Amino acid sequence: MKNMLKKINVTIWNEFRHEKTNSAVKKLYPEGLHKAIADGISAEDLNIRLASLDEPEHGLTEDVVSSTDVLLWWGHCAHGEVKDEIVKRVHKRVLEGMGLIVLHSGHFSKIFKTLMGTSCSLKWREAGEKERLWNIEPSHPISQGIGEYFELPHTEMYGERFDIPQDGKIIFISWFEGGEVFRSGVALERGHGKLFYFSPGHETYSIYYDQNVLRVIGNAVRWANPLIYQAHTAPNAQPPEVIQGIPPAAQS
Amino acid sequence: MKNMLKKINVTIWNEFRHEKTNSAVKKLYPEGLHKAIADGISAEDLNIRLASLDEPEHGLTEDVVSSTDVLLWWGHCAHGEVKDEIVKRVHKRVLEGMGLIVLHSGHFSKIFKTLMGTSCSLKWREAGEKERLWNIEPSHPISQGIGEYFELPHTEMYGERFDIPQDGKIIFISWFEGGEVFRSGVALERGHGKLFYFSPGHETYSIYYDQNVLRVIGNAVRWANPLIYQAHTAPNAQPPEVIQGIPPAAQS
Amino acid sequence: MKNMLKKINVTIWNEFRHEKTNSAVKKLYPEGLHKAIADGISAEDLNIRLASLDEPEHGLTEDVVSSTDVLLWWGHCAHGEVKDEIVKRVHKRVLEGMGLIVLHSGHFSKIFKTLMGTSCSLKWREAGEKERLWNIEPSHPISQGIGEYFELPHTEMYGERFDIPQDGKIIFISWFEGGEVFRSGVALERGHGKLFYFSPGHETYSIYYDQNVLRVIGNAVRWANPLIYQAHTAPNAQPPEVIQGIPPAAQS
Amino acid sequence: MKNMLKKINVTIWNEFRHEKTNSAVKKLYPEGLHKAIADGISAEDLNIRLASLDEPEHGLTEDVVSSTDVLLWWGHCAHGEVKDEIVKRVHKRVLEGMGLIVLHSGHFSKIFKTLMGTSCSLKWREAGEKERLWNIEPSHPISQGIGEYFELPHTEMYGERFDIPQDGKIIFISWFEGGEVFRSGVALERGHGKLFYFSPGHETYSIYYDQNVLRVIGNAVRWANPLIYQAHTAPNAQPPEVIQGIPPAAQS
């Protein structure tokens, strides 16, 4: 019976630089934080691959992208190194239906900014303070299994104003010890694709070992898995109805 | 007293190519359709300038853009010739607060696609058919003075599915003689800027002499006039509250 | 294995009056249009019950409502006879999670108006004209299996302006032969419950035998099936954090 | 010249009970908190009246309601005493265009619940803790003159989950000393009327003497002032287009 279930093809993309250059990060995520996420959300219905910046075509070849149902994106210090043609490829695929989960500092990635059309700016602070994520949509697929709130003892603060369009469904709003608030989990749609932005995740904290964080990411993957893929075209359409009284000049 | 009123600085940008190469268009809009719009919406509270593609920097120098409150955009056959650096300049200014009115085939302009993040695709047909625009938000500033609906006897059809984000407030929905429907007037916000997409406007029809069309455009200009301009920054923020128990390792 | 699948408990509520008093309707829907819908969407994963106005408690006893996952609602000439206490019971259950599919003239039902908070008014005309429903969200669960559009040869016209809140996700926009447009399929959420309003369905036409209409209703039932049920409370909450410097006067 | 300016007719409605029965409240708001608000937002363009629960028809006669452009509502312990017919009158007028500003515990008023269609439930705590309201829409009319945030040293906590529809434009998100967050300023539209919910305002704190709170309320009044009033009707509409092939049976 198990084979009858179509697995979700998940690709976890990581910039994968901090893990090589910063010893604290290396110790925390020796194989990269994408590997930690992959291990953390591993399940029978998911077929998970890893990809990173320094691979050819950033590991996001036409074959990989076209066979990915849901893409996860973590980037930070090297957003500028991601080639525009790869961003274009991913963008096109999202609009056709592929799900996209953007994590933490990915708010400033080319792909997220391209999809949002806004600056995606926010406040930030690295003080290892406490964050409490309030679950304001307990009936949403992404927050299943999460209580009223969950806490991260030490996080980077991301604070409002977060410059994104207002059509996102807010799943989590965060409270920070230092006094800020943040829309930390936001679900959106663009074209035929579903997007989820989830802010926890600084590389120097053990965020991607947290069971609530992993639960949310796993839920988001299932939620973002597309029902259909459909290309966007701009057809010169035949009229379903008879058009009367067309002036000859207009029949160009 | 009149001098006390701060005028709205409006720049009407037109690709201005069809008017030079197509005799029918030239006859209809001898000085360009931007000039027809300027004449049509002319009023005491508006300070209107014209700009077009073939001017240096497309007529959208830093000075022009930074002194424009509301920009109107009409383009069609030469979207690809608009330089990316000018698009970036306009985009930045919209996010800071400048209003933007995108007309007709401008749905495929670089600036609109950049702001939407989607393909902005739609169906189309040039058959000079009748269009009826239903005013579904009679209490919105943009539809003031417009009745329950108005008609255009001969238009290019633009039909659904229109691939834009769903946070637009729909002001008009069009009915077409040939059998299609279209969200023909949509109000959006991106960053601190307001946007209005308005679909009527094919260059071979006398759309920009229609009093209802001009009324809508004039209303949209006043609606999109910004209250503030504010740049987008991503500050490393000082906490309003005392943060306790910060582990030393996190004090990077 | 089949028993492991939890069936969706569906209750189809029909005013069930026209079928008894109007011979044309009686001929078309001899056992009531709720029975035609039940037959039309019948499937292994659905456990369907019928209920109607003239049963005790309108067939919507506490037991029935609390064991219903998705409720369908068709009413027209007797909205005023539906008891307020039953409306309150259904309303409470929707906010807790129960799905609700409101059909056709149900736009003026007490339950829909209560959930919307608006007048829910619209234009109408009984002329048996053609309606074409454009599917503007082909990636949504509700429009799966539906093409670019589908047609109903003879319908009652429902036209804009439809006075509902603007947070509905528009799935279908209708074109009418007589010249109107309508947001004919709209998906909403209230509390923890999902709602779908679907406008086709006049009792004198064979709408509920149409395969596309039935497909949409069946899809909507699966979409509206809740993940959770949760009551709404307004708790006096214990603070997660220590509160300092509370002035004694405020400790009431 | 001044006479040419049409003033906004504002009615501030207050339950006005706590001020009579609780000595601390009486001392803080000797003439009622509605009087404090009236004094605080007093300006040349506003024509302000007061109304309260114990007046005939709660001070909201047909004459008062039909001559009010923007109504402010504060209620708490006596929501149940507000007569349904008066709620219906106010509801109808809001849908026709009248603005409504709902303050603090008014979230549980009949009029707000009627307009929202949801439970409007939230968490609360009276501990006199600090609240910081983050201004997340600095370009909105309601937040003009307000900085990045403002603080209230002692407030009643209102915390998420706030059960309202998701189409509200969030203007403020609050941080609380005790660890909660709240959507404390939300702008909505219902029918042709604009609504603003603003959560600060517990009767035992000097909230309505705070200059930022008063500024926000004053801004909201101007924002909610309607452009038009329009009744909601459900007309049997004449078709703009010729309808062909109507089967005789359908011509009922």
A100-C136-A140-C13 Cα dihedral, nearest 10 degrees = -160
List of E strands, B136-204: 149-159, 169-176, 181-190, 193-198
Q: Share the mean pLDDT of chain C.
A: 94
- CA distances (Å), origin B78, targets B26, B105, B106, B119, B201: 17, 11, 10, 17, 16
Q: In this structure, are residues B90 and B58 in contact, taking their beta carbons and an 8 Å threshold?
A: no
pLDDT digits (tens, 9 = 90+) for C28-87: 999 999 999 999 999 999 999 999 999 999 999 999 999 999 999 999 999 999 999 999
What is the percentage of chain C residues whose pLDDT exceeds 70? Answer: 95
How far from the centroid of its chain's Cα atoms is residue B1's Cα? Answer: 31
> Do the strands C8-14 and B193-198 form a parallel or antiparallel pair, or are they unpaired?
unpaired
Write the burial class of residue D143 (CB in 10 Å: 0-12 exposed, 13-18 middle, 19+ buried).
buried
Q: Is the pLDDT of residue D78 over 50?
A: yes
Residue numbers in B near C174 (CB within 8 A): 181
* Cβ–Cβ below 8 Å for D121 and C234: yes
Domain CATH number, residue B35: 3.40.50.880
Residue among C138, C4, C8 nearest C68 (CA): C8
End-to-end CA distance of chain C: 58
Closest CA–CA distance from residue B156 to any residue of chain C (Å): 17
Give, in degrees to the nearest 5, the angle at Cα A216 between A214 and A222: 105
* Cβ–Cβ below 8 Å for A127 and B178: no
Q: Is the pLDDT of residue D249 over 80?
A: no
End-to-end CA distance of chain A: 58
Average pLDDT over residues C137-144: 98
Residue numbers in C near A240 (CB within 8 A): 132, 149, 151
Q: Which of C123, C127, C167 sits opposite D251 (nearest CB)?
A: C127
Name residues of chain A where pLDDT drops below 70. 1-4, 245-252
Closest CA–CA distance from residue D146 to any residue of chain C (Å): 26
Closest CA–CA distance from residue B106 to any residue of chain A (Å): 14
Q: How many CB atoms lie within 10 A of CB A189?
A: 20
Residue C142 lies in a domain: no
Average pLDDT over residues D238-246: 85
φ, ψ for residue B218 (rounded to 5)?
-60, -45
Q: Most C CBs within 10 Å: which of B146, B172, B173, B242, as the mutation test of the C interface?
A: B173
Give, in degrees to the nearest 5, the angle at Cα B187 between B183 and B188: 115
Give, in degrees to the nearest 5, the angle at Cα B141 between B135 and B145: 60
Q: Most A CBs within 10 Å: which of D181, D182, D199, as the mutation test of the A interface?
A: D181
End-to-end CA distance of chain B: 58
Predicted confidence band of residue D203 (pLDDT cuts 50, 70, 90): confident
Predicted confidence band of residue D34 (pLDDT cuts 50, 70, 90): very high
* Cβ–Cβ below 8 Å for B249 and A126: no
Residues of chain C contacting B, Cβ within 8 Å: 132, 134-138, 148, 159-162, 166, 169-170, 173-176, 179-181, 183
Cis amide linkage into residue A161, ω under 30° from 0:
yes
Q: Most D CBs within 10 Å: which of B139, B222, B225, as the mutation test of the D interface?
A: B139
Residue B168 lies in a domain: no
Residue numbers in D near A183 (CB within 8 A): 173
pLDDT score of B197 = 98
* Cβ–Cβ below 8 Å for C163 and D244: no
For chain B, the chains sharing at least 3 beta-carbon pairs closer than 8 angstroms are A, C, D
Residue B134 lies in a domain: no
In a 3-state reduction of DSSP, which class is residue B218? Answer: helix
- C128: tokens are 């048996």
- B219: tokens are 């209303």
Q: Most C CBs within 10 Å: which of D115, D116, D118, as the mutation test of the C interface?
A: D118
The size of chain B, in residues, is 252
Residue A160 lies in a domain: no
Residue numbers in B near C160 (CB within 8 A): 134, 136, 173
> Do the strands B8-14 and B70-74 form a parallel or antiparallel pair, or are they unpaired?
parallel
* Cβ–Cβ below 8 Å for C226 and A139: yes
pLDDT score of B248 = 43
φ, ψ for residue C78 (rounded to 5)?
-125, 30
Q: Which of A134, A159, A161 sits opposite D160 (nearest CB)?
A: A134
* Cβ–Cβ below 8 Å for B161 and C135: yes
Q: What is the DSSP letter of C238?
A: P
Q: How many CB atoms lie within 10 A of CB B85?
A: 9
Residue A170 lies in a domain: no
Phi-psi region for residue D57, left (φ > 0), alpha (ψ -120 to 50) or beta? left
Give the pTM: 0.96
Non-local CB neighbours of C48 within 8 Å, separated by 6+ positions: C10, C11, C12, C38, C41, C42
List of E strands, chain A: 8-14, 46-52, 70-74, 99-103, 123-135, 149-159, 169-176, 181-190, 193-198
pLDDT score of D27 = 95
Q: Measure the CA–CA gap between B29 and B26, rounded to whole angstroms.
A: 5
The size of chain C, in residues, is 252
Locate tokens 């749609």: which residue?
Answer: A189
Q: What is the 3-state secondary structure (H, E, C) of A220-240?
A: HHHHHCCCCCCCCCCCECCCC
Name residues of chain B where pLDDT drops below 70. 1-4, 245-252
- The chain C residue lying nearest A237, using CA atoms, is C148
Closest CA–CA distance from residue B224 to any residue of chain C (Å): 20
Q: Which of B114, B119, B177 sits opposite A95 (nearest CB)?
A: B119
Residue numbers in A near B154 (CB within 8 A): 247, 250
Residue among D216, D195, D197 nearest D37 (CA): D216
- The chain A residue lying nearest C99, using CA atoms, is A139
Q: Measure the CA–CA gap between B196 and B100, rounded to whole angstroms.
A: 6
Q: Which of C132, C134, C161 sits opposite B136 (nearest CB)?
A: C161
Q: Measure the CA–CA gap between D134 and A123, rounded to whole angstroms.
A: 12
> Do the strands A123-135 and A169-176 form a parallel or antiparallel pair, or are they unpaired?
antiparallel
Q: Is the Cα torsion angle D107, D109, D113, D118 positive or negative in sign?
A: positive
- The chain B residue lying nearest C171, using CA atoms, is B161
Phi-psi region for residue B97, left (φ > 0), alpha (ψ -120 to 50) or beta? left
Give, in degrees to the nearest 5, the angle at Cα D52 between D46 and D58: 115
Non-local CB neighbours of D55 within 8 Å, separated by 6+ positions: none
- C164: tokens are 């509902």
Closest CA–CA distance from residue B209 to any residue of chain D (Å): 23
Predicted confidence band of residue C248 (pLDDT cuts 50, 70, 90): very low
Residue A171 lies in a domain: no
Residue C77 lies in a domain: yes
Q: Which of D139, D149, D151 sits opposite B227 (nearest CB)?
A: D139
Q: Measure the CA–CA gap between A202 and B155, rounded to whole angstroms.
A: 53
Average pLDDT over residues D105-129: 97
Residue numbers in A near C230 (CB within 8 A): 138-139
Q: Looking at the 3D structure of chain A, how many domains does it have?
A: 1
Predicted confidence band of residue D248 (pLDDT cuts 50, 70, 90): very low
pLDDT score of C203 = 86
Q: In this structure, are residues A25 and A86 in contact, taking their beta carbons and an 8 Å threshold?
A: no
- CA distances (Å), origin D250, targets A186, B145, B204: 48, 36, 41
Q: Which of A127, A236, A240 sits opposite B124 (nearest CB)?
A: A236
Closest CA–CA distance from residue D93 to any residue of chain C (Å): 11
Sequence-ordered alpha helix ranges (H) in chain A? 18-21, 23-28, 33-41, 62-66, 84-96, 110-116, 211-224
Q: Chain A to chain D, count of Cβ pairs less than 8 Å apart?
A: 49
Q: In this structure, are residues D125 and C237 in contact, taking their beta carbons and an 8 Å threshold?
A: yes
**Domain of residue C56, residue span:** 2-117+184-231
Residue numbers in C near D115 (CB within 8 A): 117
Q: Which of A139, A141, A227 sits opposite C192 (nearest CB)?
A: A139
pLDDT score of B1 = 40
Sheet holding B193-198, edge to edge: B46-52, B8-14, B70-74, B99-103, B193-198, B181-190, B169-176, B123-135, B149-159
Write the burial class of residue A176 (CB in 10 Å: 0-12 exposed, 13-18 middle, 19+ buried).
buried
Phi-psi region for residue C34, left (φ > 0), alpha (ψ -120 to 50) or beta? alpha
Q: In this structure, are residues B128 and B157 in contact, taking their beta carbons and an 8 Å threshold?
A: no
Residue numbers in C near B174 (CB within 8 A): 181
Q: Measure the CA–CA gap between D188 and D169, rounded to whole angstroms.
A: 6
pLDDT digits (tens, 9 = 90+) for C93-103: 999 999 999 99
Residue B158 lies in a domain: no
Q: Is the pLDDT of residue D250 over 60?
A: no
Q: Is the pLDDT of residue C2 over 60?
A: no
